[in-house]
Structure 1
Amino acid sequence: MAAPMYNVFLGAETGLLKGINTLKGSWNNLNAIETPSKTNEITCMSWTGKEQFNFHVGLRSQNIANYDLSSQVLSDFKSFDCGPGNLKAVGQCDDLLITAVESGLVKLWRDDACTCDINTGNNIHCMTVGDNVIGTGGKKSDAKIWDIDNPGKPIFQVKNVKNDWLNLEVPVWVTAIQFLSDNKIVTATGHHQVRVYDPSVQRRPVLDMTFDEYPITAMSLYNDNQVIVGNTQGSMALLDIRKGQCVHRFKGFAGSIRSIQCHQSLPIVASCGLDRFFRLHDINSKQLLHKVYLKSRLNCLLMSKKEMILKDDGDDDSGAEVDADHHEDDDEEDGSDDDDVWNKMQVVKTRTVKRKSETLDNPESVPENPGKKKKSRSKSKKTKTN
């Protein structure tokens, strides 16, 4: 099979599917739309398998298509009756297509026919697919784990944390959920919380930490001990979920972050959001490797594991279209030629002119007027005579 031309794929609010080749520094729209519409907004994408030969593209209007990386062709969109509400997530487990809508209805599809319905609760915001299990969560609907073979009731349901210091219930708003390798789950909330749950220990979180003061909108696992999160204010950071600490932050964002994904084998992370930029950071050094302006507000992204994201040293392609920011070393080399020009220029001297205020402040510079005498303040007293 031929190698795919693009190694990063992004979905926009306008309904355009965009592909980026970070090796050559190029990008392109992979589909065409006549008139941009909110109904054509791409809300979710997911790989159809671990081999990553193709992936699903889901629209808000519950239409789903498939993109084949070998032929680089996007199939026609098929309409699915997923239930009331906008399509929030799509996933694949073996030969089953799994969809989740905003109303909380999760459906399992085989050969375009619904085989099972799962009512997970209202206002669902996120869904993730693991090994024969599904994780869901949303607003006023805490995280749950469902068995695909027995979806009648959740096999694990999170219990809310204890009431706050005013004895008020802590609001629930799960915006992201991921499975860890040791059967644990990690969630992010719209109340800037990151929590880790161990179903074998307790229903309440074994770790509860906060990040900034704004809703967390995206999260990706870097390893079993660290996650990268982003919020509505454009802050993205690497968090240690063992110690409950922030390792470091990434810079360069100018809007809400909608999607984050870490590479499976390289220490790099891709992100996109409402500022219309795709960014690629080195996780360890925090360096911005690539930055591309894609003209549309971006909702989701997928990064392929087949292609090397970082460009080899022997590659002659400069990637000027992608590398929008210069490195510090390049700036220092460019500045060496400018120093010679500035050294050859003639120095222009200027004469300073004293202002009137300066002469008044310095009374010694003002000559005395000998003709003017000071008036005596003493007055002779008049006496009364009888």
Structure 2
Amino acid sequence: MAPSAARWNHVWVGTETGILKGVNLQRKQASNFTAAGQPRREEAVSALCWGAGGETQILVGCADRKVRHFNTEEGTFQGQRHCPGGEGSFRGLAQADGTLITCVDSGILRVWRDDDKEASSDPLLELRVGPGVCRMRQDPARPHIVATGGKENALKVWDLQGSEEPVFRAKNVRNDWLDLRVPIWDQDIQFLPGSQKLITCTGYHQVRVYDPASPQRRPVLETTYGEYPLTAMTLTPGDNSVIVGNTHGQLAEIDFRQGIPGRMSPKSLKRSTRYLQKTQRQMNFGHPWRQLLRGNYLIRIRPKELSKPNREKRSSRSPLAPENPVPIL
């Protein structure tokens, strides 16, 4: 694919071989982009996010602890930043005010000067957010605010311009009906626009809403979906619900406006997707969704401006699915 055609891709997928795949849903084509010119497993992609300039730049976090900058307009990698420290792979990336924010498995969150290419340079800020991190998420409305959560690492909200203590620390839910402690495993986090509320999905198939502005630190809304770990979540365009996906390739829309107080209503999305291919990758939805979806599934959605699907019989194997996917987040 010509570099200028990269801007028309609707989905961006990172792979275990270091390839960044751009998928054009209209043409039913997938194109490969690599920083080194050939696949390298030591450059396996572990995190993706949009750059601060919008959808013209993607930050690609790799296993060699380098964050590479990919220009979607030109279809090329343009620079990189080495971000050492901590153990494990990247669990989240973000940009804010000329800085790069990284967080790894072991709970080391660092803020780097993004225009500094020296590998030996020290970070501007380092926070220890707790081990077992599964996700770090930036608040789009307040770029200096991030949230973290993971396995036995409850949801926390951090102000990178404030103190080294979290501005909000979630409290675990009450013991179950056998009076046993409920384990913690936050897999993904989203900020709800227009408020301070956050939504999490867990490895124990729960979806929870937290409100730091309320007196309580426990969830203000909670529901469950299915019986398998939830690994992916993104807000819908109306911001009134989230779409969650689990390890068995099932999707559901959780509507905050439905159900009894304190509960939410899950709704199956079987009719909303043309196909669902389990890929266990991280990916990025471009226009018109403009959402970053972290998780274990490649979901092909028909946006409104795309042409209607061909009704002819198709093969059960999609030509767009990445090969040999493995879990990275």
TM-score bin, normalised by smaller chain: 0.7 to 0.9
User: 1:280 and 2:294 equivalent?
Assistant: no
- Shift in CA distance, 240/254, structure 1 to aligned 2, threshold 3 Å: same
- Shift in CA distance, 237/167, structure 1 to aligned 2, threshold 3 Å: same
Q: For 1:63-82, what aligned pairs fall within 5 Å after superposition?
A: 63-82=66-85
- Aligned mate of 2:323, from 287, 295, 298: 295
- Shift in CA distance, 81/269, structure 1 to aligned 2, threshold 3 Å: closer
1:20 deviates by 1.8
- Shift in CA distance, 151/71, structure 1 to aligned 2, threshold 3 Å: farther
Q: Which moved more, 1:44-53 or 1:248-257?
A: 248-257
What are the superposed Cα offsets for residues 316-357 of structure 1, whole Å, 9 maximum, x if unpaired? Answer: xxxxxxxxxxxxxxxxxxxxxxxxxxxxxxxxxxxxxxxxxx
**Structure 1 CA distance, aligned partners of 2:157 and 2:295?**
28
- Aligned mate of 2:146, from 130, 134, 139: 134
CA contact (8 A) 1:43 1:88 kept: yes
**Structure 1 CA distance, aligned partners of 2:290 and 2:50?**
21
**Structure 2 CA distance, aligned partners of 1:269 and 1:154?**
24
What are the superposed Cα offsets for residues 275-309 of structure 1, whole Å, 9 maximum, x if unpaired? Answer: xx5522469xxx98995233342769xxxxxxxxx
User: 1:57 and 2:66 equivalent?
Assistant: no
- Shift in CA distance, 264/245, structure 1 to aligned 2, threshold 3 Å: farther
Unaligned runs of 5+ residues in structure 1 are: 301-386
**Structure 2 CA distance, aligned partners of 1:117 and 1:257?**
30
- Aligned mate of 2:22, from 7, 19, 22: 19
Partner of 1:245: 265
Instruction: Tell me the TM-score normalized by structure 2.
Output: 0.79
Tell me which amino acid in the other structure corresponds to 1:64.
V
- Aligned mate of 2:278, from 255, 261, 267: 255
**Structure 1 CA distance, aligned partners of 2:156 and 2:291?**
30
- Shift in CA distance, 93/288, structure 1 to aligned 2, threshold 3 Å: farther
Partner of 2:203: 190
CA contact (8 A) 2:92 2:135 kept: yes
- When the two chains are superposed, the root-mean-square deviation of aligned CA atoms in Å is 3.1
- Shift in CA distance, 119/183, structure 1 to aligned 2, threshold 3 Å: same
Partner of 1:119: 128
**Structure 1 CA distance, aligned partners of 2:133 and 2:94?**
15
- Aligned mate of 1:218, from 227, 232, 239: 232
**Structure 2 CA distance, aligned partners of 1:249 and 1:288?**
18
Tell me which amino acid in the other structure corresponds to 1:197.
Y
Tell me which amino acid in the other structure corresponds to 2:153.
S
Question: Which structure shows the bigger proportion of residues in helix conformation?
Answer: 1
CA contact (8 A) 1:232 1:256 kept: no
Q: For 1:321-336, what aligned pairs fall within 5 Å after superposition?
A: none
User: 1:94 and 2:97 equivalent?
Assistant: yes
CA contact (8 A) 1:186 1:196 kept: yes
- Shift in CA distance, 86/139, structure 1 to aligned 2, threshold 3 Å: same
CA contact (8 A) 2:65 2:89 kept: yes
**Structure 2 CA distance, aligned partners of 1:165 and 1:87?**
37
Partner of 1:178: 190
**Structure 1 CA distance, aligned partners of 2:38 and 2:282?**
26
**Rg comparison, structure with higher value:** 1
CA contact (8 A) 1:269 1:281 kept: no
User: 1:206 and 2:206 equivalent?
Assistant: no
CA contact (8 A) 1:269 1:282 kept: no
Tell me which amino acid in the other structure corresponds to 2:276.
F
1:48 deviates by 1.1
CA contact (8 A) 1:269 1:280 kept: no
**Structure 1 CA distance, aligned partners of 2:204 and 2:149?**
14
- Number of equivalences: 294
User: 1:104 and 2:113 equivalent?
Assistant: no
1:168 deviates by 1.1
Partner of 2:261: none
CA contact (8 A) 2:280 2:325 kept: no
Tell me which amino acid in the other structure corresponds to 2:10.
N
1:227 deviates by 0.1
Say which SS state the counterpart of residue 53 (structure 1) adopts. Answer: strand
1:96 deviates by 1.4
CA contact (8 A) 1:48 1:55 kept: yes
Q: Percent identity?
A: 32
Instruction: Tell me the TM-score normalized by structure 1.
Output: 0.68
Partner of 2:46: 43
Say which SS state the counterpart of residue 74 (structure 2) adopts. Answer: coil
- Shift in CA distance, 164/9, structure 1 to aligned 2, threshold 3 Å: same
- Shift in CA distance, 205/40, structure 1 to aligned 2, threshold 3 Å: same
